[in-house]
Structure 1
């Protein structure tokens, strides 16, 4: 369904008006946490087993008649000692925005909610994402990350395209003549790992054969052990998933050897980047390497590994004629410009489609913050009193489908962010832990590489249509069923 420009123009005004209308006296936040042990256990089983995350939040929102309510979030009983699962859920754009106000919320140790993995996973360092902007170390590390991105801005597109070429060549070689689907997940992860190592560590993985072959898998395991207690996996049947994956924190010992190999790789081959962190930002060597590995592995590799398959499958599975429009725009721009960041910033539909995938499938669905003091939280329709210390949990897939902001919110509408009125909606696109119109600084927790993520995703789409006349994905969205080589050899 297409969005009319008139309705899109009204959306920001409606949001501001409805938020202002909720300026009455605060009311009690609906919902409860249930009986000790039993309430959290019931919510955990609903979240992971009986309902799933989307339905879990949808049912409670309907039951309470509110986009703000109390509930429990995993992980919970029995072996998560000291973890308090009680949260205040925020499910609309108005209330969700409170999570970006540093004067209202504290972000220390709430990256994945009430549970924080052992510091051993980050070499004993509290890395930047677990720090609140009020902590002095946060400014040092984030400044280093922002500087690192600036220094690599020129090389970033070429390094990505170099790795993407290797990935697509590998997939093409796996495409059998009979048309059997060719899975792209592992080649894509190798592509992401390779280009990130060169851009962020300043080292080619081929310098270490073990890292070149297995580095991406090491990061996969390292990520999985930290996140499994909080994630619905769906690969193994219930109740085995509950018993084996959600009942206890996983020990770092299971990946300690891999982490040491990755640490040594950065230490040996990323000396220039480490020295930059030490000399200009006052980080100790181990702090620098542990932060580099976290940004590389968790923020960048982990984020791209989730987002890019969604992007490819959303476009490759479309049946509305979108691919022909994207191909036409990409090739028209590339007739005059070499493929790079400058070129893709002129591809309005490509960019809008990328934004729409980020709206529909945000790489990080949950954002958290703890109330610094008592304050009044406002949704579209009501005001609520939040007490100091309460943990706020924003579920982005619900907030980004807020019908008070987005027309036809549950549909994939690639043109949603096209034009002036479409761009006005970007202030409500929150995938980067802040509005898309915001700017990452040392005073906030917005993703330092947010602009690079969007530009890189646009590079991926543009290169697909420079290289292929068309491509399609299977129903699972993780394999190509069609790759028609381009007939336009003259395209740069």
Structure 2
């Protein structure tokens, strides 16, 4: 059933499956020069926050498609045009996955693009459109990198997870609680480095124990102008973090250490990139670093804490159901060591992972520039998009579309079970494409889409194979651990 609020937000036009969608001009405006973008920026970062920013405009325009400004804006982002067409329902959002309609070059974070100095003056694969010849070569290499890592992926993840959980157990026993974010980041970095490039960070004097901190610094300076941080009071955050792009020299030393680490320890994968995919050595290293640091490490560092806190704070009986399923499957297989094969039999575990991805996607915004003039379709209307317009999809609302998902605002762990649940995977868009899609060189879907889901399932399964009780809070602290 549609909620009263969602009914109020529906546009006044309607359609059926057999009638054409009525046309409607895209509502909304960009406001007065300078004033309009500044007002929207302050609403987005300060007065409303991202979700309320989009919800309020959706209600005002009674449309899931509208015009607005998106940060970063005014005063020092020269050449950045903040004007976008926002897409907030499953139907319109899906246009972002059609290469014939949208161009993806240089729009990873909208019209703003961090200096190429952050990637060694190389346009790495996420900034390339599939129509560019380099995209096919680099993405093919990325897919091959993941495929070759499969033989050690599970063992490396479990080995590093064991170290992480031992550290948390010790801190909980000693102090009554333990923060898990930093141990988790250390676990993620070590496991990814070993899996993707065959290099153990602990053997490097420059990367060693703090490699994940070097990546955090490198990531932060690229993304700070576009994200709400909330650790310093307003208006200081606006003045200090959102008013100008940050220069690369502030993290050049950290990036150099990471580059040298990959160059020295990842010679086998670098040679494969050069020989099999015709990449230059420097191009290969910068792309490896971006895949390792931005895509994999950055994505896991956002998503896995959300997964842990959602399950760890649940009081509906979900933990008991997950624990029963995990142990039943392990017992039926006669195994004590977790594996992808075992985790794939745990349907509730997988559905829970999907549901957290639906509600808290690691990348909330997706962008694409109209390749040509076309008709954009929502559920109930069509809108004329002009060539060159920038489209902005906000996933946390698109994947709460009340015309697709029942109880869209609620956390429903078993939502994706059964045939009806599997059908909903067509509208799970967290990976820059539907969950039923396949990453190829012809699209921009995340190359590691399946690895992310499998690894998250492995994490949940291992926790409930080890512990009778696992309690965490929104501050990313484990407050209670009861071993099996």
Category of TM-score, reference length = shorter chain: over 0.9
Q: Specify which of 114, 121, 125 is matched with residue 124 of structure 1.
A: 121
Q: Deviations over 1:237-281 (max 9, x none)?
A: 000000000000000000000101100000001000100100000
Greater relative CO, 1 or 2 (CA 8 Å, sep 6+): 1
Deviations 1:338-391 (A, max 9, x none): 411111111000000000000000000000000000000000111000000000
Show the counterpart of 2:317: 321
Tell me how large the CA RMSD over aligned residues is: 1.3
Measured in 1, the distance between the counterparts of 2:339 and 2:443 equals 29
Q: Is the 8 A contact 1:369 1:393 kept in 2?
A: yes
Partner residue in 2 for 1:428: 427
1:219 paired to 2:215: yes
Q: 1:289 to 1:252 in 2, by over 3 A?
A: same
Match of 2:240 in 1: 244
Aligned to 2:137: 140
SS at match of 2:150: coil
Say whether residues 1:339 and 2:338 are aligned partners: yes
Partner of 2:351: 352
Q: Secondary structure at the match of 2:159?
A: helix
Report the secondary structure of 1:29's partner residue: coil
- Secondary structure at the counterpart of residue 288 of structure 2: helix
Which residue of 2 is the match for residue 308 of structure 1? Answer: 304
Displacement of 1:27: 2.0
- What does residue 59 of structure 1 align with? 56
Q: Distance in 2 between matches of 1:22 and 1:108?
A: 35
Q: Is the 8 A contact 1:350 1:461 kept in 2?
A: yes
Tell me, in whole angstroms, the C-alpha distance in 2 between the residues paired with 1:284 and 1:230: 31
Rate the CA distance shift 1:22–1:252 in 2: closer, same or farther, 3 A: farther
Deviations 1:277-300 (A, max 9, x none): 000000000000000000000000
Q: Aligned partners of 2:174, 2:160: CA distance in 1, in Å?
A: 25
Counterpart of 1:261 in structure 2 is: 257
Superposed CA offset, 1:156-191 (max 9, x none): 011100010011111111114562x21000000000
Normalization by structure 1: what TM-score? 0.94
Normalised by the length of structure 2, the TM-score is 0.95
Q: CA deviation at 1:154?
A: 2.0
Q: CA deviation at 1:25?
A: 4.5
Give 4+ residue runs of structure 1 displaced > 4 Å after superposition.
17-22
User: Which residue pairs with 1:457 in the alignment?
Assistant: 456
Change in Cα spacing, 1:134 to 1:294, as seen in structure 2 (3 Å) is: same
Alpha-carbon separation, structure 2, partners of 1:132 and 1:157: 32
Which one of 282, 286, 292 corresponds to residue 282 of structure 2?
Answer: 286
Q: How does 1:133-282 map to 2 (within 5 A)?
A: 133-177=130-174, 179=176, 181-282=177-278
Structure 1 residues 234 and 22: alpha-carbon distance in aligned structure 2, compared to 1, 3 A threshold:
farther
Say if 1:19 and 1:477 are closer, same or farther in 2 by CA, change over 3 A.
farther
Contact 2:109–2:365 (CA under 8 A) maintained in structure 1: yes
